[in-house]
Amino acid sequence: MRVPGFVAASAVALAAALAGALVGPAGLTSRGVLAELVDALPLVSVDSGLTPTQQAILWQIRLPRVVLGALVGATLASAGAAYQGAFRNPLADPYLLGVSSGAGLGATLGIVSGGSLGPFDIPLLAFGGGLLGVAATYVLGSSVGGEGGAVAIVLAGVAVAAFFNALQSFVQQRYDDSLLAVYSWMMGRLSTDGWSDVLLVLPYVLVSCGVILLHRRALDVLAVGDVEAASLGIDPARVRLVLVLAATLGTAAVVSVSGLIGFVGVVVPHAVRLLFGASHRTLVPMALLLGAAFVVLSDIAARSALAPAEVPIGVVTAVVGAPFFLVVLRRNRAAA
């Protein structure tokens, strides 16, 4: 790994997190926020001057939102890098295999149920829907087998997504009084109730990102092709399955609490490739750090653009990601 690049990416992620803590409509002074953060360090005592209410805003609203945004961004970016490497498809992202459509259907069912399944019904149903979507995709695509297995799984994802989207549209039509809540979730948001959402997704994020990090060398081997990878002692099918399951587990978890935030899995890995090269030994950890920074900074833009109102964060990432996606598409077409 390139140490200077890693240090720079870490600095960017830290700066983004600090900016997320400083920016907000509650009128907290920068000096007060910085002093409060320093006061939290071991063996340090500083009077921040913040009132108990302002301290609660910082520790129970702003910081959980920043941490959740960092977890969402890191997971989506690393999952995008894993999907792109596993399927040797530079345009793949975490929603390729039916995760978003399954999670969208699950969240829609939770919203129209009106909370009758408990306080965590929407995240749990979105999580279950995301896993169901990728399971259906993988079973359908793997049944083709042969050399076209990876391509077949991608095509199966398109079919599964279309099917789940149709079911979601049907549910929305039957319960049109919930359309606003459904669209709000689908456009992405990072509103939190304290640290509960962070604690809910943290175990899944750690497992997902940890598995992808451990397999970053295997991703480099997969890049040369399945036959060559097998000759080097790698089981392509097993490695691909492990990576897909890990990436999907993390994606389904973070999507269940953040809604659908698109383009992170495309923008960040490609930006890292342009800056640091295509080796996954560098790509995956850099994507984790810069993905976290990207979503936190996008959330700052979403909170600030029309303050005190908020723009859905999915709109911000789409404004950045859609042109970037077209540039990547043109680059890959020119290289073909």
Which residues lie closer than 8 Å to 298 by C-beta, 6 or more apart?
69, 313, 316, 317, 320
pLDDT of the chain, 336 residues: tens digit per residue: 578 888 999 999 999 999 999 998 877 889 999 999 998 888 888 888 888 999 999 999 999 999 999 999 999 999 999 999 988 877 777 777 788 889 889 888 888 887 666 555 777 888 889 889 888 888 888 777 554 556 777 788 888 989 998 999 898 888 877 778 888 888 888 877 789 999 989 999 999 999 999 999 999 999 888 888 888 888 888 998 899 889 988 998 898 888 889 889 989 999 999 889 889 999 999 999 999 999 999 999 998 888 778 899 999 998 988 888 777 667 766 555
The owner of tokens 């994507």 is 287
Token code pair at residue 96 = 């390729």
pLDDT of residue 33: 92
DSSP 194-252: TTHHHHHHHHHHHHHHHHHHHTHHHHHHHTT-HHHHHHTT--HHHHHHHHHHHHHHHHH
CB 212, CB 82: distance < 8 Å: yes
Taking only Cα atoms into account, the Rg of the chain, rounded to an integer number of angstroms, comes to 20
pLDDT of residue 107: 84
pLDDT of residue 221: 92
pLDDT of residue 108: 87
pLDDT of residue 101: 86
The superfamily (CATH) of domain 3-335 is ABC transporter involved in vitamin B12 uptake, BtuC (1.10.3470.10)
Half-sphere exposure of 319 (CA within 13 A, CB side): 13
pLDDT of residue 149: 59
The owner of tokens 């083709």 is 144
pLDDT of residue 120: 59
pLDDT of residue 226: 81
Q: Where are the domains of the chain?
A: 3-335
Residue length of the chain: 336
Q: What angle do CA 104, 109, 114 make, to 5 degrees?
A: 125
CB 289, CB 12: distance < 8 Å: yes
pLDDT of residue 92: 77
CB 12, CB 287: distance < 8 Å: no
